[in-house]
Amino acid sequence: MSAEEFSVGQRWLSNTESELGLGAVIQVDFRSVEILFPATGDARIYTKKDAPLTRLVFAEGDTIQSQDGWSLTVSQVEETQGVLVYHGLREDTKANARLPETLLDHQIRLNQPEQRLFNFQLDSPKWFDLRLNALRHQHGYFRSSTIGMAGARIELIPHQLHIAAEVGRRHEPRVLLADEVGLGKTIEAALIIHQQIRTGRAQRVLILVPDSLVHQWLVEMLRRVNLAFAIFDESRCDALDDSGDNPFETEQLVLCSIDFLKQHPKRHQQALSAGWDLMVVDEAHHLAWSAEQPSEEYLLVEQLAGSVPGVLLLTATPDQLGHESHFARLRLLDPDRFYHYETFLEEEQRYSQLADAVAPLLSDAPLNARQVKELQRLAPEVMARNEALDEREAKDTLLHQLIDSHGTGRLLFRNRRAGIAGFPKRELHSYPQDLPEEHQCVVGGDDLTLALYPERQSALVNRWCDIDPRVNWLLEFLPSVKPEKVLLICASAVTAQQLGEVIRQRSGIRHSVFHEGMSIVERDKAAHYFSDPEEGAQILLCSEIGSEGRNFQFAHHLVLFDLPVTPDLLEQRIGRLDRIGQTKDIQIHVPYLKGSAQSVLHDWYHQGLDAFSQTCPTGSGVFETVKPLLIGACMKPDEPAHKEALVETSQRLNQQLKAQLEEGRDRLLELNASGEGKVDALIEAIIAQDSDLALSRFMGRLLDAIGVQQEEKGNDCFILRPTESMVSQLPGLDPEGMTVTYRRRIATTLEHVHFLSWDHPLVHHAMDMVLTDVLGKSSVGFIAEPSLPTGAYWLEALFVLTAKAPAKLQPGRFLPQTPIRICLDAQGQAVDLEFDIKRPVGRKMAQQLIKALQPAVSKQIEIAGKKAHSEANQILHDAIETMQATLGREVQRLVDLKQSNPAVRDSEIEYIENQMRALDNALKHADVQLDALRIVVNNP
Ligand SMILES: Nc1ncnc2c1ncn2[C@@H]1O[C@H](COP(=O)(O)OP(=O)(O)OP(=O)(O)O)[C@@H](O)[C@H]1O
């Protein structure tokens, strides 16, 4: 307590309850004083003798705030009847003004460390350590190479991490992710989006997917990378219309179906004008294009791609709607570069020759003169930069440069199963059935659809299930594999519904249907019911929409009730089960009608393409060529010669195309996409982080200090629960409690457990909470160190160096908020000591100590400030040098690359050059601020 007398109107701070704000004396009597804290409405009565109160007194030069919101810079202080009146200049009007302390802002919370220290606003000394460590960890986080990737709840799969690292760090990436079905394009996109957001490159993200995948994307983004997207549909937009704002501007992360935008031109316009940093389009093979008739979807995405700087297109089957459409999708990514289809084909031809020429680089044998010459002919610029080619390392360098300069390599990433180990086998089970009388009439007719799907004959609409032997086969098949799950895919929603009805009427088997006639919520319910291992449906009957993007790898049996006409669609169907996470061999069951077009299609896929038991990357190429033969054979199933010719031609073509593929341009593309030899360091860094205990230790202490209860649950899991004594709300902490783990293995097996990592929002919120609060800004603690002089004291001053620049420039990459800790002894000499504080110094003693040491400590703070500035100068100097060297290298690489690869955009180079200039300026003006002070006294 101050020795001063209390007078009504004076302003005092509570030393024990600083959250009450600034109090005013409202009554004084002989023994006690009553203080009202207007900010919270609380009043307290204290005994005058030992009231835990500090008089708030400002001095010349301080800036103070009035209750009415204006500020005053104090130039003179006068006292009348025990109450202070501040005189000075108002900041808003620049006029002279007076502010009696009675009119000071009640909300005042001292936030300057020295103000808090000298006004005895002290916290437990552990908060100083938490502030310091939070800053140190945050600093490490922003400089780490694994940011946005290490915290994803995924298995570490090299090709995905490579693509994520390669694309996620680009400025405004525009790429086509085209891995074969089920290799993890959604995960790659999630990792890219997450990195872009975490590093400040992107804030606003729009994801467009087919209707049937909206919910799955929502769940994957949340579950894998903790990003909560908002689903937009008409009812949501409608509800937001009243506000008059563009509904798409109300959220940063938006997920919607592409159909929704197609059906509502107004929403499309709003989405266009809302402005995004990044757009993701899944199942991009639907964006069909031809010069005469581009599809509506294509035009819609084209408009968006024209204004959104970052674009990720995803498709497993880029050639599904023809090579021209593939070209058109590349054009969405870079219209300047892909302007003419014929030119593109010529270029492809050249890249294919280059890929051939690269083959010798993969072997350890020395290159002969002819091989070198061929490389020089095809890639003169790259070869000019590489002279010696004998060593493995030199070959690898050249290889990587060639990959880099490879035509579409920078914007097209395609991995094939063939290059990735660990996929299960696929086994085909065919069930030829007798062709019923009623279906005979479509055989040899002129309607291909009816020939393939005879159940659609109008005369049979309501009774085909009674006569089609595939139905009975299904009813017998299901019990034979019970309780194993079965996914059935057929071409139409009606077929799926009718089969569902038959199963309902004629068997007690639990089933569910999934088709385009159902709402998204109904479909998700159906998929969820199917996925329930104990109580769920044994069979899910899907129309073709079930064949895209969905994750059904928990099932091992796939029934193809009919067959699609294109190999890509067949691959999409099988891909529901044959995807990462499938644990058993996949059983593919195909019932078909003997002597019908179905049997032709079956034999074509099986014998002509071998497309059931393996992925068939050449399928669509063969299909394009044999289409007339295929249709002919389907229309004449009773003339075996047609089918034989079809199968024979397809086999031959398939072999040829496979051989071409093998030799052709894919090798460079695949090397580029798989990251072979490039991704090891990243994976090692993530594994090292996974096994480092720093996070769990730090979070354990931090959560404890915040007041979160942590209960060990076994299995490396903890339950976190809020308590009544929390110092403040922690955003992201589930009020009902949440189970967390720091172990990747647990997080990837137990769905409901949160994976806490340096990327996790709860960790960020907890650190932000400490750093934005005043907790720990001033404290006094005891150490008990026999080797140091008893009674000696030190001042620890924590400074923070910050460069102020927009997040988009990523100042954090070179100068994240950097803590500078200066420790001085009583003589003001810097010492290299870190303290293990045993206990806080009692409040009364701390106050006495601070009073006694105030002049000395003020001096020390001044010395510490000087030292911090000089350290900061060195840090800044290094940061500017690193920034210039790193970004300079990036510019040079792109400039070199541009000579041989026009896929490098000028805007990429310009962006980095501008970034260098802006960062240089921001770093030069970085600012050092005192963040916290702690006095440490040795009391062994
Ligand atoms: N690294 C990973 N860790 C854990 N699960 C993964 C990983 N990669 C992929 N998966 C799982 O494998 C399945 C296939 O991944 P994903 O959906 O990303 O593939 P896709 O290439 O987008 O498939 P499609 O071509 O069918 O659209 C999903 O269930 C996904 O959750």
| pLDDT (tens digit per residue) in 559-577 | 999 999 888 889 889 988 9
Atom of ligand 1 nearest to the CA of 155: 3
- Decide if 433 is inside a domain: yes
Whole-number percent of the chain with pLDDT over 70: 95
CA of 590 to the centre of ligand 1 (A): 25
- For residue 683 and ligand 1, the question of a CB distance below 6 A is answered with no
* Low-confidence winner among 143-152, 601-610, 616-625 (lowest mean pLDDT): 616-625
Q: What is the pLDDT of residue 319?
A: 67
Q: What is the pLDDT of residue 289?
A: 82
592 phi and psi angles, rounded to 5 deg: -150, 165
CA of 182 to the centre of ligand 1 (A): 5
Query: What does pLDDT average to over the chain?
Result: 88
- Decide if 669 is inside a domain: no
CATH code of 101's domain: 2.30.30.930
646's tokens? 């079809």
Q: Which domain holds residue 256?
A: 158-413
Residue 457 corresponds to which amino acid? Answer: Q
CA of 764 to the centre of ligand 1 (A): 27
Phi-psi group of 714: left, alpha or beta (phi > 0 → left; psi -120 to 50 → alpha; rest → beta): left
Q: Torsion angle of alpha carbons 55, 59, 65, 70, nearest 10°?
A: 150
- Decide if 640 is inside a domain: no
- For residue 154 and ligand 1, the question of a CB distance below 6 A is answered with yes
884's tokens? 């210039």
- Decide if 137 is inside a domain: yes
646-699 per-position pLDDT tens digit: 999 999 999 988 877 665 445 666 667 777 767 889 999 999 999 999 999 999
- For residue 494 and ligand 1, the question of a CB distance below 6 A is answered with no
CATH code of 539's domain: 3.40.50.300
CATH code of 762's domain: 3.30.360.80
Give me the residues paired with residue 413 across strands: 177
CA of 903 to the centre of ligand 1 (A): 28
User: Cα separation of 732 and 314, whole Å?
Assistant: 31
Both 431 and 314 in one domain: the answer is no
Both 55 and 136 in one domain: the answer is no
Atom of ligand 1 nearest to the CA of 187: 18
Both 181 and 309 in one domain: the answer is yes
CA 687 to chain centre: 19
- For residue 181 and ligand 1, the question of a CB distance below 6 A is answered with yes
Both 567 and 505 in one domain: the answer is yes
Give the domain-ending residue among 364, 392, 413: 413
Both 472 and 384 in one domain: the answer is no
Both 238 and 368 in one domain: the answer is yes
SS3 string of 237-271? Answer: HHHHHCCCCCHHHHCCEEEEEHHHHHHCHHHHHHH
User: Cα separation of 320 and 313, whole Å?
Assistant: 14
Task: With a cut of 70, say whether residue 390 has pLDDT above it.
Answer: no
Both 50 and 163 in one domain: the answer is no
Both 343 and 436 in one domain: the answer is no
- Decide if 365 is inside a domain: yes
- Decide if 650 is inside a domain: no
Number of continuous H segments (helices) and E segments (strands) in the chain: 31, 31
Query: CB count, 10 Å around CB of 575?
Result: 23
If one compares 535 and 300, the residue with the highest pLDDT of the two is 300
Ordered DSSP codes for 477-511: HHHHHTTS-EEEE-S-HHHHHHHHHHHHHH----E
Q: What is the pLDDT of residue 485?
A: 95
Task: With a cut of 90, say whether residue 473 has pLDDT above it.
Answer: yes
Which letter does DSSP use for residue 179 in this model?
Answer: P
Both 38 and 130 in one domain: the answer is no
If one compares 405 and 885, the residue with the highest pLDDT of the two is 885
* Low-confidence winner among 180-194, 255-269, 391-405, 500-514 (lowest mean pLDDT): 391-405
Cα angle: 803, vertex 808, 811; to 5 degrees: 25
- For residue 157 and ligand 1, the question of a CB distance below 6 A is answered with yes
Site to probe by mutation for ligand 1, drawn from 221, 281, 579, 751 as the one with most ligand atoms within 8 Å of Cβ, is: 579
Q: Is 746 helix (H, G, I), strand (E, B) or coil?
A: helix
Among the listed residues 477, 487, 498, the one whose alpha carbon sits nearest the alpha carbon of residue 431: 477
Task: With a cut of 70, say whether residue 405 has pLDDT above it.
Answer: no
| Mean local confidence (pLDDT), 112-134 | 90
CA of 187 to the centre of ligand 1 (A): 6
- List the residue whose alpha carbon is closest to atom 23 of ligand 1: 182
180 is in an annotated binding site: yes
- For residue 811 and ligand 1, the question of a CB distance below 6 A is answered with no
| Mean local confidence (pLDDT), 412-434 | 87
| Mean local confidence (pLDDT), 837-863 | 88
Task: With a cut of 50, say whether residue 528 has pLDDT above it.
Answer: yes
Task: With a cut of 80, say whether residue 896 has pLDDT above it.
Answer: no
pLDDT band at 370 (very low <50, low <70, confident <90, very high): confident
| Mean local confidence (pLDDT), 772-780 | 88
Task: With a cut of 90, say whether residue 608 has pLDDT above it.
Answer: yes
- For residue 593 and ligand 1, the question of a CB distance below 6 A is answered with no
Atom of ligand 1 nearest to the CA of 189: 18
Atom of ligand 1 nearest to the CA of 282: 27
* Low-confidence winner among 61-65, 303-307, 935-939 (lowest mean pLDDT): 61-65
- For residue 183 and ligand 1, the question of a CB distance below 6 A is answered with yes
185 is in an annotated binding site: yes
Q: What is the pLDDT of residue 380?
A: 75
Kindly list the distances between the CA atom of residue 731 and the CA atoms of 406, 409, 743, 769, in Å, as whole numbers in the listed order: 46, 42, 22, 9
Task: With a cut of 70, say whether residue 109 has pLDDT above it.
Answer: no
Both 490 and 522 in one domain: the answer is yes
- List the residue whose alpha carbon is closest to atom 11 of ligand 1: 580
Contact 653, 622 (CB under 8 A): yes
Domains identified in the chain, total number: 4
CA of 280 to the centre of ligand 1 (A): 16
pLDDT band at 2 (very low <50, low <70, confident <90, very high): very low
477's tokens? 């098949």
- For residue 210 and ligand 1, the question of a CB distance below 6 A is answered with no
CA of 184 to the centre of ligand 1 (A): 4
Both 756 and 703 in one domain: the answer is yes
CATH code of 201's domain: 3.40.50.10810
Both 36 and 89 in one domain: the answer is yes
pLDDT band at 862 (very low <50, low <70, confident <90, very high): very high
Ordered DSSP codes for 87-121: EEEETTT--EEEEEGGGB-TT----SHHHHHHTT-
CA of 551 to the centre of ligand 1 (A): 8
CA of 189 to the centre of ligand 1 (A): 10
- Decide if 254 is inside a domain: yes
Whether residue 483 is preceded by a cis peptide bond, meaning omega within 30 degrees of 0, is yes
| Mean local confidence (pLDDT), 106-122 | 82
| Mean local confidence (pLDDT), 903-912 | 80
Site to probe by mutation for ligand 1, drawn from 551, 745, 751 as the one with most ligand atoms within 8 Å of Cβ, is: 551
Cα angle: 561, vertex 563, 567; to 5 degrees: 145
Q: What is the ipTM of this complex?
A: 0.98
| Mean local confidence (pLDDT), 263-280 | 95
Percent of the chain that is helix, strand, coil (3-state, to 5): 45, 20, 35
Question: What is the pTM assigned to this prediction?
Answer: 0.79
- Decide if 290 is inside a domain: yes
536-562 per-position pLDDT tens digit: 999 999 998 876 767 788 899 999 999
Give the domain-ending residue among 561, 593, 625: 593
Give the domain-ending residue among 388, 413, 438: 413
Atom of ligand 1 nearest to the CA of 183: 21
Task: With a cut of 80, say whether residue 336 has pLDDT above it.
Answer: no
768 is in an annotated binding site: no
157 phi and psi angles, rounded to 5 deg: -105, 120
If one compares 121 and 208, the residue with the highest pLDDT of the two is 208
User: Cα separation of 529 and 532, whole Å?
Assistant: 5
586-596 per-position pLDDT tens digit: 999 999 999 99
